[in-house]
Amino acid sequence: MKSPQDARNLAESLVDRALKAGADAADAAYVAKQSTEVEIRDGALEDVSRSEGEKIGIRLFIGQKSASVSASAFSADDQRELIDRLMAMAAEAPEDPYAGLAPQDMLLKETPPDLDLNDSRQVDPALLKERALDAEAAAVAVSGVAKSTGASASTSSSVTAIATSHGFSGTHNSSGHSVAAGAIAGEGSAMERDSYWHSAHHFDDLESPAQVGREAGERAAARVGPKKIGKGVMPVLYDPRVATSLLSHLSGAINGAAVARRTSFLQEKMGERIFAEGINIIDDPLRLRGLRSHGFDGEGLPVAKMAMVEDGVLKSWFAASAAAKQLGISPTGHAVRGSGSPGAAPSNFYIEAGTRSRAELLAAHPRCLLVTELIGQGINGVTGDYSRGAAGFLVEHGEIIHPVSEITVASNLIQMFASLEPGSDLEFCRGIDAPTILIPEMTVGSA
């Protein structure tokens, strides 16, 4: 894996080669990651793995024609051959009125901010093994847990560099650390399983292995003995671990490419209230140590904290340059890029906390369902129709009565968004974060 400066130099040289070959414009990316992971099961080492990979991506333009390629070829001869092939591909490509680099006057001019994403601490396999063992031991120590499904600990580092022919060149590097554990509780055919994981850029920000293992064990033990519940319409609460899926559905619906293709159920909703008053949904790429933080987007544009939904009103799309041109707007600074062409996606995406606590939401209705697991992908992106398998707990008068499984929850995302209420228990621990969310009415059935 190259150093950040060497990665930047490579991206710049690829762009220079493309221009010298006759391209009118070009951009290039270098993406590399290396990781080490230790997995254990039943107190014994199961696997130690190390992966290293690096790729380059080149995109060039001849007028309104373009072509792109991703490769792991780094010698001068390989690069020359790739660019010659790209020039031939672009010459045969159809004209695309939306092709091109991001607007030059919008490019990031200053040095990207330091978001403290890189931890210089070196973690060796021996320490990873120790942490995985500690997590598993904590999981199986929980009352009711029968056995472990395994535990793991990992460490990683990555480098990304982007360069364009019209004036941008930037790089960033980051580190990553994680701990995960899984457990099985109960006996015979009544066994239930669950898991828990935590990750962070900095080693010292990780939850302890004991915390991770204990959470995995407690989750599994709580699921033992599920019972059926009747079909019908009832309030449904989404635990934070699944409430984030609602934000994922929102981000897909406000992706500029989906809106431009007219395949989004929110395509006509810009500037309209789609959530209740007081609801704010934020994208924040500049959060210090945020899991998805970055100082510039995948096209070299500056990034900023932005309210995608403000006081319930939809305020912006996630749009890279191509989709922005189709929509007649400026790119929004949400371009993301690996070694392929840029797309658009959120960074640290969250719904702001509400005023009522989780306990108050659980007690808001005499009888409700608390969902802790979702299964399947029964979402229609065009209509917003929603139906997913689920598991969780029946709640009566604010108290959990018993676990439930093999059920479905169904509604329409437009109705769900308009009526949902976030709780006050928001924590920033993932790239997409949400508190407990109450949806007053959903159809509950048998899976």
Q: How far, in whole angstroms, is CA 247 from its chain's centroid? A: 10
Q: Which band of pLDDT confidence, cut at 50, 70 and 90, is reported for residue 74? A: confident
pLDDT value for 189: 81
> Do 14 and 101 fall into the same domain?
yes
Mean pLDDT of 158-174: 96
Nearest CA among 390, 385, 393, 437 for reference residue 411: 385
Average confidence score pLDDT of the chain: 96
pLDDT of 243 > 80? The answer is: yes
Question: Is residue 131 assigned to a domain?
Answer: yes
What residues make up the domain containing 361?
A: 232-246+353-446
Question: Is residue 310 assigned to a domain?
Answer: no
pLDDT of 447 > 80? The answer is: no
Q: What is the pLDDT of residues 415-427, one digit of tens each?
A: 999 999 999 999 9
> Do 236 and 371 fall into the same domain?
yes
> Do 49 and 138 fall into the same domain?
no
- Distance separating alpha carbons of residues 388 and 378, to the nearest angstrom: 5
Q: What is the pLDDT of residues 260-276, one digit of tens each?
A: 999 999 999 999 999 99
Pairing of strands 432-433, 349-351: parallel
Q: What is the pLDDT of residues 196-232, one digit of tens each?
A: 999 999 999 999 999 999 999 999 999 999 998 989 9
> Do 385 and 433 fall into the same domain?
yes
Question: Is residue 25 assigned to a domain?
Answer: yes
pLDDT value for 340: 83
> Do 236 and 385 fall into the same domain?
yes
- Distance separating alpha carbons of residues 418 and 165, to the nearest angstrom: 44
> Do 237 and 381 fall into the same domain?
yes
pLDDT above 70 coverage of the chain, percent: 100
pLDDT value for 342: 93
> Do 95 and 137 fall into the same domain?
no
> Do 372 and 432 fall into the same domain?
yes
Question: Is residue 112 assigned to a domain?
Answer: no
Question: Is residue 195 assigned to a domain?
Answer: yes
Name the pTM for this structure.
Answer: 0.95
Nearest CA among 46, 212, 37 for reference residue 139: 212
pLDDT value for 120: 84
pLDDT of 446 > 90? The answer is: no
Sequence-distant (6+) residues with CB within 8 A of 181 are 132, 135, 136, 138, 139, 148, 150, 151, 152, 195, 196, 197, 209, 212, 213, 216, 217
- Domain count for the chain, please give it: 3
Question: Is residue 413 assigned to a domain?
Answer: yes
Question: Is residue 260 assigned to a domain?
Answer: no
pLDDT above 90 coverage of the chain, percent: 94
pLDDT value for 377: 85
CATH number, domain with residue 142? 3.30.2290.10
